[in-house]
Amino acid sequence: MHKITATATAIAIAIASLLGLAACTTADPNVYSSYDAQRMSTVLDATVIGVRPVVIDGQQSGIGAAAGSFVGSVAGSGVGGYRDSFVGGIVGAVIGGVIGNATERAATHQDGVELTLQLRNGDRRAVVQARDNEQFAIGDPVIVVITGNRVRVTKAPVTVVPAPH
């Protein structure tokens, strides 16, 4: 009964770790790191000349593989006697590591959009960012916000010119 409790605890810890890991990285243009807060950004005007859906590949930090290996080794070591449990632990660690790595990668990938932009000075740039609620179409006026080495694109604000009195 003790091995079942240890296995269940290990699985719960691994799942919690992977779920927490999914929130660690983002390419979401609406999420700022604390480093980016209260910093001056450069803002450029541009027009969208191309929109293409992309997938932003998930990360492989090793945390998923480590958690999977741990869970797999605990689960595998519960097989048979001493000798079998040793081999089962090794096999379980390898299989768990592969599964954990794949789980981490799947949990951290995002749907994105590649925007090709025509800047006001004539230069062209492409920016990839996570897809959010803002939909872009060819011809949309946008602003490009550059903070350090991070870039995000958002629709240009609509300015209302007050009517003369």
**Residue-level pLDDT at 32:** 66
Q: Kindly report the three-state secondary structure assignment for every residue of the chain.
A: CHHHHHHHHHHHHHHHHHHHHHCCCCCCCCCCCCCCCCCCCEEEEEEEEEEEEEEECCCCCCHHHHHHHHHHHHHHCCCCCHHHHHHHHHHHHHHHHHHHHHHHHHHHCEEEEEEEEEECCCCEEEEEEECCCCCCCCCCEEEEEEECCEEEEEECCCCCCCCCC
- Name the residue with higher pLDDT: 9 or 157: 157
- Residue-wise pLDDT tens digits, 76-106: 666 666 666 667 777 777 777 777 766 666 6
**Residue-level pLDDT at 43:** 92
- Name the residue with higher pLDDT: 123 or 25: 123
- Model pTM? 0.56
Q: Give yes or no for residue 21 having a pLDDT over 60.
A: no
